[in-house]
Structures are given as C-alpha cells and as structure tokens.
Amino acid sequence: MSVSGGMSVASPSEEMHGAGSTLPAFVERARDDAQCRAALARIGYSKVKAAYAEQLRSDAHSDVFWGLERENLSPPMELVRDWLKAERKRNVSGVRWTFFGAMLATIITGLVFAAAVSILG
C-alpha cells in the first residue's frame, strides 16, 4: 500500500514478507512489549503505579493490565510490574547522583570557607 508521492505506509514486515505472511511469535511479542512500554512511559510512573495498585486491590488474580485499554493494548501484569521496578530503579539512580553532587558541593564549599577563615583570620 502506498500514498501518493511514493511514500509507503505499509509496515516493514509487510514490505519484506508480503502482505499475507506473519512474523514469528517472538518478534510479535517483542514488538507488543515495546509498544506497551512506550505507552506506559507516556502515561507516567505515578499514574501507572496507581492504576496497577488499584487493579491488584480489585482483582489480584488478573493476568492482564487494563490501564492501557484506551491505547488498545493489554500487557501482562508481569510486564507492568517489571516496568515499574525498572522505572523506580532509574528514578532512584538519578536522584542518588543529584544528592551526591549536592553533598560534594556542600563539602567543598565548607572546606573552602574554612581555608579562607584560617588564612584571613
């Protein structure tokens, strides 16, 4: 399928393998996971965490996360849990380096101040 001007709107899999063939299951799963992770990132950590916790409270045995229904996606709860863990780790890591930088700047400032007082006074 192409649009005027020669630009193709067909998916790469359709262009490479023809319109009737499908990709292997692991490729489809990886593509779906990537789409789900991108949608989770767009929604944001706090909203996803709240929706995840609410779903766990209401239906602890659910295998599918329903927070992405608007995006026509239904990732497994395991994927969402893993994404939340990774995002939390990434956020904590960023805050940790900011804290260490501020602490180092404070220590250096204190040492410079102490040196200035001892020289001048």
Q: What average pLDDT does the segment 105-115 reach?
A: 96
φ, ψ of residue 62 to 5 degrees: the values are -70, 140
Q: Three-state SS string across the chain, please?
A: CECCCCCECCCHHHHHHCCCCCCCHHHHHHHHHHHHHHHHHHHCHHHHHHHHHHHHHHCCCCCECHHHHHHCCCCEHHHHHHHHHHHHHHHHHHHHHHHHHHHHHHHHHHHHHHHHHHHHC
Q: Are 17 and 9 in contact (CB under 8 A)?
A: no
pLDDT by residue (tens digit) across 62-107?
899 998 888 889 899 999 999 999 999 998 888 888 999 999 999 9
pLDDT reported for residue 12: 52
For residues 85, 90, 95, 96, the Cα torsion angle rounded to the nearest 10 degrees is 90
pLDDT reported for residue 112: 96
pLDDT reported for residue 92: 87
pLDDT reported for residue 20: 53
- CA pair distance 9, 19, nearest whole angstrom: 12
pLDDT by residue (tens digit) across 9-54?
444 544 455 555 688 989 999 999 999 999 999 999 999 999 999 9
